[in-house]
Amino acid sequence: MAPAGDRGSARWAAVRHADDHVHLVATLVRQDGPTVWPSNDIRRCQAVARELEVRLGLRPGGPVRDGAGRD
């Protein structure tokens, strides 16, 4: 989302508040001011989450579904 030094990317933070999971929060405003209008963000975020789970040896999250995170 935001490579180091890229002022045109959205900023994000990861919060680990338990041993078994992490929450990611991303802004929808770039550091240089314009709004980010994500497209197909649910699927892309789930794909990145799956890659991180494998790379970091984490337990996989739930199944990918439409409307994920909008319960």
- Tell me which DSSP letter residue 39 carries: S
SS (H, E, C) 6-50: CCCCEEEEEEEEECCEEEEEEEEEECCCCECCCCCHHHHHHHHHH
Q: Is 17 part of a structural domain of the chain?
A: yes
Average pLDDT along the chain, 71 residues, taken 10 residues at a time: 70 82 82 80 81 86 60 41
Q: Is 71 part of a structural domain of the chain?
A: no
Q: Is 36 part of a structural domain of the chain?
A: yes
Q: What pTM value is reported for the model? A: 0.47
So what's the pLDDT on residue 71? 41
Q: Is 28 part of a structural domain of the chain?
A: yes
So what's the pLDDT on residue 48? 82
So what's the pLDDT on residue 28? 84
- Tell me which DSSP letter residue 65 carries: -
Domain containing 44 equals 10-56
